[in-house]
Structure 1
Amino acid sequence: MYTQVTTQQGSQATKFGTFGGVFTPCTLTILGVIMFLRFGQVVGQSGILDAILIVLAAKTITTLTTLSLSSIATNTRVKGGGAYFLISRSLGVEFGGAIGVLFFSAQAISVAMYVIGFTEAFSFTFPKWDPYFTEVATAVNLGTFVCVYIGAGWTIRVQYFILAILVMALGSFYAGAITDFNPDYLRANLTPKFAEGENLYTMFALFFPAVTGIMAGANMSGDLANPSKSIPKGTLLAILVTALVYLSQAILLGCARPADELISNNMVIRDIAVWPLAITAGVFAATLSSALGSMMGAPRILQAFAHDKIFKSLEFFGSGSGPTNEPRRATVLTFVVAQACILLGDLDAIAPIITMFFMITYGLLNLATFYEAITKNPSYRPTFRYCHWITSLAGTIGCLGVMFLINWIWASVSIAFIAALHWYIRSKEIESRWGDLQSGVMFERARKSLLRLEAEVYHPKNWRPVIMALSGTGWTRPHIPIYGYWLTSGQGILTLAHVVCGDIEVHAERREQYEKTLRNFIAKEQLEAFPVVTCNQMLSDGIESLIQCHGIGGIRPNTVLLGWPREERAESFGANIRVIAQMRRSILAARFMSHRQRSETADESSELEEHWSVPEGTIDVWWRGMANGALMLLLAHLLQKNPGWRNNKIRVMRVVSAPEAKPEVERSMAELGAASRITFTPTVVITDRPPQEVIPKESADAAIVLLGFQTPEEGHEMELYLRMESIAGDLPRVLFIDSAGGMALES
């Protein structure tokens, strides 16, 4: 039943087995107050057949949930916290935190429900105490609190005695019901006799809290010797035994008494029993044991929740006492919550609220198991083999459906409460210290999407900017990653790349440090980007290996963004971009005068702030045809889609030498705007002067200028460099573009 284990301090701590730690608390919680005080009403109003349907439906949901519970419990090292621990380690800190609050509340309120049930039975047995209902309930709540405060070991031993009384009470009822069997009652009670305002769903809501005891064993997970073995076996056995009890009771109650008496007499089971005193003892024992079970479970949920430090205000309750780490602080809070609910004094009002809380918990537990199964995470290797993603999904849908069937308003409120807690925890950006399956879900989605993308036939309509920005470490040339981020505009993919020149055996650690630096830069500047660093003997080799190897499937870089060099590096730059062009990648070369003029001692933060500032002026695209023009215009459009650039109008600039050509050029540019569905202002410049005189003058006030170029042949690197330098002149921001094609403005 229980074993002794040695703690780190060398003291002996009790660890419970399947019977004492799981089966007994589950059975006693399930066969509790509802069975003795409300099940007669359920049978009387619903009729025998519908009562059986209610029991089977409730047991189906709890069985499916137990299969999910068993699967997760045998897939991880279960610690304290029960359902909270299992859900948080699967669905993540946001859902776990929301469930922690909700499940603790449900368990704490359950204490009040069971104490009120005990007090009802006590007042019925001793009528002189009826005027002191609240005082008696308070005393019972206090006594339950004291028992649990002393420790779980003592409480479990008390429950063995209670289980014996419960068995004796059930035997007394069965003997009396069989003796009082009446076929007329059987025929009359087969069909429903609902009172005004009641129906099958309200009866289900009244009954369902009776079966929520399946978590009583899981809540003790931190006190079990072998949780992964005891939780599945003990919980499923408890469900089977209690299902047989409730199904047989539904039939025997309907055969022993008329419906009116079943509905109006809360102690009808006592009147049926051959030994009424045994039922009285059974009611007292069952309600007290259920209260003890919930009083033990709720603090352990809160303790585990507080120990994870999701809410700083609750960290106080994470501490334990003694060698068994008893959650005494959390036990005090549980007592306070239960006492507040006792003052309401209405068992029928409390039951539906608890139903919603438990339903959400069960639904999320099923959902966690469903996601664990469908993501095919290699770490999901449960030893419990009788759970499938279909059963978990059925459990999730069943819980959600029953919630809305019972009371759609309370169901909506409960879901909204969970959603609000989830949003609040997410907004706090709490970093969990444990793994969850969110990354597994995203990985599986990405895997399937990549495979589907690989199978799709490419079409220019689906072209997106997949930019690899040769940004160095990010800090040294901040305009490169920032403009790369703007040019993808949330519709493409940006990679920040850095080539470490040298022998990889010498620079392996240096490569890792540079990648870490890039990750820090991306995180600090809140860029949607990926880092990649390669180590090669030469820069051109590094660029070549990045272009060939970086990416996967259809997500490979189609565009390379790099900085425009100074004159002394023009020839090597020409060689590098020739490698890029040969591999059919578009080239973007950013020539920013502010970077050239930057002081070597400039402050990094002020430099970044400057480059994040959107300059005033237009976005000028100098058009010379579709060869580079299509990509230039599309990138200008993507740049303008960023919130900070929306007020920067796009101008498409075209030079003609004769005035009579202007109307025709304006007409063709208007057709281009209509076909591309990009809003821009056509600007025709009439002049016969060379580009190096026209462009710097016409675009002097532009925020950025886009100019096309053609990658030079070998030996013509310096010629290209000098020509583009003369065309750009003293313009502060120029983006030179050589398009490899692949997109169509008309698509």
Structure 2
Amino acid sequence: MFGGVFTPCTLTILGVIMFLRFGQVVGQSGILNAILIVLAAKTITTLTTLSLSAIATNTRVKGGGAYYLISRSLGVEFGGAIGVLFFLAQAISVALYIIGFTEAFAETFPSLATHFVAIASLVNLLTFVCVYIGAGWTIRVQYLILAILAMALASFYAGAIADFNPDYFAANLSSHFVDGENSFTMFALFFPAVTGIMAGANMSGDLANPSKSIPKGTLLAIAVTAIIYLSQAFLLGCARPSEELIRNNMVIRDIAVWPIAITAGVFAATLSSALGSMMGAPRILQAFARDEIFKSIRFFGTGSGLTNEPRRATVLTFAIAQVCIVLGDLNAIAPIITMFFMITYGLLNLATFYEAVTKNPSYRPTFRYSHWITSLLGTVGCLGVMFLINWVWATVSIGFIALLHWYIRTREIESRWGDLQSGVVFERARKALLRLEEQSYHSKNWRPVIMALSGTGWTRPHIPIYGHWLTSGQGILTLAQVVSGDIEDHAERRERYEKTLRNFIAKEELQAFPVVTCNEFLSDGIEALIQCHGIGGLRPNSVLMGWPRDDSRADAFGANIRLIARMNRSVLAMRFLAHRQEDAEADDANDLDAHWEIPPGTIDVWWRGMENGALMLLLAHLLHQNQGWRDNAIRLIRVVENEEAQQEVLKHLLELRTASRISVVPKVIVSQQTASEIIRETSAKAAIVLLGFQTPEEGEELELYQRMEQLAGDLPRVLFVDSAGGMALES
């Protein structure tokens, strides 16, 4: 805890800002405002640490720190984006800290200022060697740096107490902002000083017990550094006038009893931050590479030695830092690096918020001081600070991470770990179902919830495909298979049958759910599915099935639809002549493209009243809503025996079109021919024909089958409809 978390966090927080810029914050803001700035900044980092502690104690933390925690919560897209950003931010930060060290070194030894790049490169090399040897060696070096830092602080406190002046204290209580500055700009100047809370978490793979070390070490570092900054704000305001605090960046050195200690402290602060980033960045890259989100970087996932040191990733970090050092001034990209850190902290808070608010049973952190409210406040705080520091870079950074998220998502990379996205969806669905259940069912809200008895899908593809067209974007489709026979033989294979259906859904890109039941008899299976499948308002209201191929199956078919009608479900029976041909059936399992082809012609609805007509017309409309069916006009057809009734019926159909708001072409046929002859002649070139029927009484199954077969004749595609009601065209 002390060496792996507290020390790197403390050394990163007590950095260059404290030595070179905090005097300006106090001079311009005044003592009281400076204290408020420190407290506000510490509040945000404390909230983030509470979130960090909750996640760290909820899962086994491996290498990668914030990347590992975020990816395991928010998923591969956010995790991958954070992996890229956080590694680059840490790697470039090495160069920033080394350049800061070199600038202080050049001011102390002006004769060496002409060798700036050489000195910075040498320091980068020494930092790299320390880290390459191993984390244990680096931690021992940090102990020395921590001792130097403590000596520098002691020198400052001794000098500040000796120089205490009540007049300065009274004058510096209020603010003395120069032109263009205010409390917000001073907050933006100070805040990067406290963004070192992840230094310990980045070492998660090297900690003996990260779930205990990370919360204790990070919170202790925040508390200690808060005391230091608050006491400095008070003492600086009591030791020097505001003018000197504002203009003199080395005012802390001037106050100190031993100025050389402050110089050593500046060196120690910059070197410790460089070491912390040089240790953290490779471990992020190593964890990221091992997850194989981008297979091209798997090379960097390999560890070395008994401690699994990320030496390959360390070499890359050194190279990136060296390139940045050679390029020179990094002030232009420094703001966006801070933004990357803030995005990481914000997403960490967001991950904890979602874990808590979705009430995921797997979210059981042993750290008890985090709540979804604190996580939400941390998220909002991080976002607010980003725009407060620099709204332009904040917008660019958010846009960049959104682009990375989109790129990873479009590559459809599947994570090998669980995340909370399914939990978020589950919680939304749960609340929506409860809300739907509380509301009264009304015909205006009727939607097709179709259970298609599709078999495996491959053998009768026209059933699931037309089911998809009838529900796409409007309702819910379930592909159901009833496996009949000896239950003991089939029950253990039920998962395999369901997997076959799932594969069919995935291959054909259907918006559907699979369900399989094993029963001794087909009718028992259908009854079980209708009664038990679905939940609340999402229970099936229609059953889509195939029409019998011959009259030998008429009795069983009639019994099944009688069962469905008795359970108040609509029956949709698809008669597809091409499926009756044995050669076509053999091709179905291999090539389904032909079934997806939209046939030319009209969508013919044969109207005989509202009993079945309302559902038939609504189904025709739903079919027509599909992009491929937009050119197939809906014809609403009715037959009358004499011309006197033609105008009256046509008027009725036009009124029906207006009331239903469905674009149809009404057609009234005057004929003395039989119904079967009229239907065959009129709809010979139709894409699909919708005909209503009545569920047969017991003993009338064959008669129904033969009558409907005669009506359909040689029409290639007919949908027979027996409506159970529940919808209204005028709604």
1:27-426 to 2 correspondence within 5 Å?
27-343=10-326, 345-346=328-329, 349-426=332-409
Which amino acid is 1:483 matched to?
Answer: Y
Which amino acid is 1:710 matched to?
Answer: Q
Equivalent pair of 1:181/1:252 in contact (CA under 8 Å)? yes
Distance 1:100 1:202 in 2: 30
Equivalent pair of 2:188/2:388 in contact (CA under 8 Å)? no
Change (3 A) 1:232 1:249: same
1:479 Cα deviation from its structure 2 partner: 0.3
1:679 Cα deviation from its structure 2 partner: 0.7
Which amino acid is 2:315 matched to?
Answer: V
Deviation track 1:71-102 (CA, whole Å, cap 9, x = no partner) reads 00000000000000000000000011111111
Distance 1:746 1:80 in 2: 62
SS for the counterpart of 2:195 is helix
SS for the counterpart of 1:653 is strand
- The question of 1:433 aligning with 2:433 is answered no
Deviation track 1:381-436 (CA, whole Å, cap 9, x = no partner) reads 00000000000001011111121222222111111111111111110000000000
Which amino acid is 2:601 matched to?
Answer: G
Deviation track 1:471-513 (CA, whole Å, cap 9, x = no partner) reads 0000000000010010002211100001111232221122221
**Which residue does the alignment assign to 2:643?**
659
1:346 Cα deviation from its structure 2 partner: 4.3
**Which residue does the alignment assign to 1:721?**
705
TM-score, normalised via structure 1 length: 0.96
Spell out structure 1 runs of 4+ moving beyond 6 A.
none
Equivalent pair of 1:65/1:362 in contact (CA under 8 Å)? yes
- Aligned counterpart for 1:629 among listed residues 613, 617, 627: 613
Distance 2:109 2:176 in 1: 31
1:322 Cα deviation from its structure 2 partner: 1.5
Distance 1:223 1:95 in 2: 24
Distance 1:142 1:672 in 2: 83
Equivalent pair of 1:208/1:355 in contact (CA under 8 Å)? no
Equivalent pair of 2:459/2:589 in contact (CA under 8 Å)? no
Which amino acid is 2:455 matched to?
Answer: G
Deviation track 1:555-604 (CA, whole Å, cap 9, x = no partner) reads 10100000001222111101111000000000000000111114177334
Change (3 A) 1:405 1:333: same
- Aligned counterpart for 2:685 among listed residues 682, 696, 701: 701
Equivalent pair of 1:219/1:301 in contact (CA under 8 Å)? yes
Distance 1:80 1:145 in 2: 19
Distance 1:619 1:201 in 2: 66
- The question of 1:581 aligning with 2:565 is answered yes
- The question of 1:692 aligning with 2:692 is answered no
SS for the counterpart of 1:107 is helix
320-329 or 474-483, which deviates more: 320-329
SS for the counterpart of 1:473 is coil
**Which residue does the alignment assign to 2:577?**
593
**Which residue does the alignment assign to 2:491?**
508
Distance 2:696 2:574 in 1: 17
The unaligned stretches of length 5 or more in structure 1 are 1-17
- The question of 1:487 aligning with 2:470 is answered yes
Distance 1:352 1:45 in 2: 22
Distance 2:582 2:44 in 1: 67
**Which residue does the alignment assign to 1:7?**
none
1:41 Cα deviation from its structure 2 partner: 2.4
1:263 Cα deviation from its structure 2 partner: 2.9
Distance 1:158 1:406 in 2: 33
Distance 1:195 1:80 in 2: 46
1:539-688 to 2 correspondence within 5 Å?
539-567=522-550, 568-599=552-583, 602-604=586-588, 607-688=591-672
The number of equivalent residue pairs is 730
1:319 Cα deviation from its structure 2 partner: 1.5
Which amino acid is 1:325 matched to?
Answer: N
Change (3 A) 1:156 1:115: same
Deviation track 1:691-731 (CA, whole Å, cap 9, x = no partner) reads 11000110111111110000100000000000000100100
- The question of 1:711 aligning with 2:678 is answered no
SS for the counterpart of 2:324 is helix
**Which residue does the alignment assign to 1:465?**
448
**Which residue does the alignment assign to 1:443?**
426
- Aligned counterpart for 2:515 among listed residues 511, 529, 532: 532
Distance 2:83 2:241 in 1: 44
Which amino acid is 1:668 matched to?
Answer: H
Equivalent pair of 2:459/2:585 in contact (CA under 8 Å)? no
**Which residue does the alignment assign to 1:13?**
none
Equivalent pair of 2:460/2:588 in contact (CA under 8 Å)? no
SS for the counterpart of 1:615 is coil
Deviation track 1:51-82 (CA, whole Å, cap 9, x = no partner) reads 22221111111000000000000000000000
1:668 Cα deviation from its structure 2 partner: 1.1
1:308 Cα deviation from its structure 2 partner: 0.6
Distance 2:226 2:589 in 1: 67
Distance 1:192 1:111 in 2: 35
518-527 or 597-606, which deviates more: 597-606
Distance 1:73 1:454 in 2: 38
Distance 1:264 1:105 in 2: 34
Distance 1:614 1:551 in 2: 30
Which amino acid is 1:645 matched to?
Answer: W
Superposed CA RMSD: 1.5
1:347 Cα deviation from its structure 2 partner: 6.3
Distance 2:243 2:329 in 1: 22
Which amino acid is 1:146 matched to?
Answer: V
SS for the counterpart of 1:214 is coil
The unaligned stretches of length 5 or more in structure 2 are none
Change (3 A) 1:164 1:309: same
Distance 2:81 2:243 in 1: 43
Which amino acid is 1:84 matched to?
Answer: Y
Distance 1:61 1:345 in 2: 32
